[in-house]
Amino acid sequence: MKKLVVSAISIILLCIGLLESRTYIDSSQAGSQNTLTIFNWGEYISPDLLKKFTEETGIEVIYETFDSNEALLTKLKSGSTSYDLVVPSDYMIKKMIDFNLLQEIDKSKLTNFNKINPELLNKSFDMNNKYSIPYFWGTLGIIYNPDLLDKDQKFEKWDDLWDERLKNEVILIDGAREMLGLSLQSQGESVNETDEIKLKLAEKKLELMGANIKAINNDEKTMLMVNEDAKVAITYSGSAAQMIAENEKLVYSVPKEGSNIWFDNMVIPKVAKNVEAAHKFIDFILRPENAAKNAEFVGYATPILDAYEILGEEITSDEQFYPSEETMNHLEVYDAQSQKIVQMQNDLFLEFKININRP
């Protein structure tokens, strides 16, 4: 998940939900056929849905959280807890399949599977969705404040970030894959390019943006954009939605030449002790009214088409967060890459950060 900065109100509501629902029990009680142990990102589900699931099924939910895909993989490989359901991101799902950590989903138990937008199925990390079911999805793009910019600055392409009028105004995302990827796409290449020469050229082009860079920061981006202390930032769609909710002047754009489309999917580990409950929960989340409620709480795009009517046209026709078919055709999922390539990308990104800070 590309994590949101959650408001104090959301946190308070979450805590109240946990106390009232009583669907959370100590993890030492895991393993009962009357419990479901979920491992998910923090603040990534409506607590009302957990309460509702328990009321409907009698199955109590043990809900634990992680803050990175890598932490999730480490925990799963350790075998210290038998999770029944986890929610990794696209590239990590491929790794988990390769490590033989997941079991196939029995779609005959999912009465709501046909409600998933078919455009969000059969992706490279899990063809035919044998092991994973979409939970949320989103994009990487550019958020900007038109009131602080010239009228012709629309950020319809990545190259707009190199505009000389943006001196000391752009906040970059602190991620090698994201930054090298957008530089590659601005040159007509794929975000999944692994050729060393092309990656080095992508890094050199990033250096040419140096004068425009205000910060390379993930944590303070929301505050800076909402308070109008910065004009432009690279961010994920969920974070953009929250920023716009706090400052309606802001606009989110997905560049025409393409960007990253990401998925967080539900999977069932091989060590799961309550596979039946896991399938029930997946089908429960796919139910349109539940998918809509979850999307409202979390702020990300739902994969369930029948939830669109519940959410309303104002939300689902907003191409900032529910891109057009034309835009979707230019989006790419990050492929899982070898450790050698990952290290090369990290080294190049570090070189970029060092070089732009040289006097």
d(CA 35, CA 61): 6
Is 128 in the same domain as 64? yes
Q: Would residue 1 count as lying in a domain?
A: no
Give pTM, 2 decimals: 0.83
For residue 151, give the CATH number of its domain.
3.40.190.10
- pLDDT score for 225: 97
For residue 74, pLDDT over 60 is answered with yes
d(CA 205, CA 198): 11
d(CA 304, CA 88): 18
Q: Would residue 52 count as lying in a domain?
A: yes
Confidence of residue 26 (pLDDT cuts 50, 70, 90): very low
Is 290 in the same domain as 300? yes
Is 169 in the same domain as 230? yes
Is 177 in the same domain as 274? no
Is 152 in the same domain as 269? no
Is 143 in the same domain as 133? no
- pLDDT score for 212: 96
Is 170 in the same domain as 82? no
Is 56 in the same domain as 109? yes
The greatest distance separating any two alpha carbons of the chain, rounded to the nearest whole angstrom, comes to 64
Q: Would residue 292 count as lying in a domain?
A: yes
Q: Would residue 117 count as lying in a domain?
A: yes
Lowest mean pLDDT among 20-34, 197-211, 314-328, 331-345: 20-34
Is 15 in the same domain as 69? yes
Three-state DSSP state, 207: helix
Is 144 in the same domain as 132? no
For residue 268, pLDDT over 90 is answered with yes
Q: Which residue has the higher pLDDT, 335 or 58?
A: 58
Of the ranges 2-16, 36-50, 214-228, the best mean pLDDT one: 36-50
Residue 56 structural domain: 8-137+263-316
Q: How many domains does the chain divide into?
A: 2
- pLDDT score for 99: 95
d(CA 191, CA 177): 8
Average pLDDT over residues 131-158: 96
- pLDDT score for 81: 84
Confidence of residue 238 (pLDDT cuts 50, 70, 90): confident
For residue 221, pLDDT over 60 is answered with yes
d(CA 318, CA 324): 9
- pLDDT score for 3: 46
Q: Would residue 181 count as lying in a domain?
A: yes
Cβ atoms of 112 and 287 closer than 8 Å: yes
Q: Would residue 189 count as lying in a domain?
A: yes
For residue 358, pLDDT over 80 is answered with no
Helix (H) / strand (E) containing 3: none
For residue 5, pLDDT over 50 is answered with no
Q: What is the pLDDT of residues 76-114, one digit of tens each?
A: 999 888 999 999 999 999 999 999 999 999 999 999 999
For the record, the structure tokens of 182 come out as 């957008």
For residue 184, pLDDT over 70 is answered with yes
**What percent of the chain has pLDDT above 70?**
91
Is 211 in the same domain as 332? yes
Q: Would residue 333 count as lying in a domain?
A: yes
Is 14 in the same domain as 103? yes
- pLDDT score for 1: 60
Q: Would residue 3 count as lying in a domain?
A: no
